[in-house]
Amino acid sequence: SLDNAFADEEVLDFDRRVRERLGDPVAVEYCAEPKLDGLAVSLRYEHGVLAHAATRGDGLSGEDVTTNVRTIRSVPLRLTGAAPAELEVRGEVFMPLAGFQRLNAAAAAAGDKLFVNPRNAAAGALRQLDPAVTARRPLAVFFYGAGLWRGTQEPTSHRQLLAQLAAWGLRVNPETRVLADIQRCLDYYRQLAARRQELPYQIDGVVYKVNARNDQ
């Protein structure tokens, strides 16, 4: 799970703790990206082929949503190029605002109940018993990390990880930035907050990750 920070002082304190643990008194490079307001999923690929997908659930076990995830157009069923023998990637399924508006317009025209917000609509779509219903919902996904990785050399930084995911055809958020220090992270947050209404999806914050795999 993520540590939360709601003020600049808490972010600066986070950076201080990171630098103390890494033994770096000067500055630490971070990757920053929007925190999408969607549903976390874990996808497992075997020899480059999508084999299993699950929601995060309670952090230890989640719901099997393999059949429904296969209907999401932005999820590759087969990775491009040479992939590890076993690979687990983590991402966020969400509903773009334009698709959410179209979905509610169609529901209103049919006299059906409207969806409250894009996150609830995305979660409901992913948990449908009928994958044909999921396929008609405008879902999308961005990937941001990896867990299990067997068969090839793992990237040594988070930036390299994201570049490799993209090379395999797994979408990563184009708003992701590599930032030289925590002050630039705070600038990124303010700039993104100023553009929040222009983004094509809902967010509920920003995620900062140390630019070394599995450090967060």
pLDDT in tens, 130-143: 999 999 999 999 99
User: How is residue 44 annotated by DSSP?
Assistant: E
- The predicted pLDDT at position 61 comes to 73
pLDDT in tens, 140-172: 999 999 999 998 888 989 999 999 999 999 999
How would you label 2-19 residue by residue, b for 16+ Cβ within 10 Å and e otherwise?
eeebeeeeebeebbeebb
CA 130 to chain centre: 24
Count CA within 13 A, CB hemisphere, residue 172.
21
From 12, 19, 27, 35, the catalytic residue: 35
- The predicted pLDDT at position 25 comes to 80
Q: Mention every residue, 6+ apart, whose C-beta is less than 8 A from residue 78.
A: 48, 49, 50
pLDDT in tens, 59-113: 677 799 999 999 999 999 999 999 999 999 999 999 999 999 999 999 999 999 9
What is the greatest pairwise CA distance in the chain?
61
- The predicted pLDDT at position 2 comes to 65
- The predicted pLDDT at position 107 comes to 95
Q: Is 209 annotated as catalytic? A: no
Mean pLDDT of 179-188: 95
- The predicted pLDDT at position 212 comes to 67
Is the pLDDT confidence value at 216 over 50? Answer: no
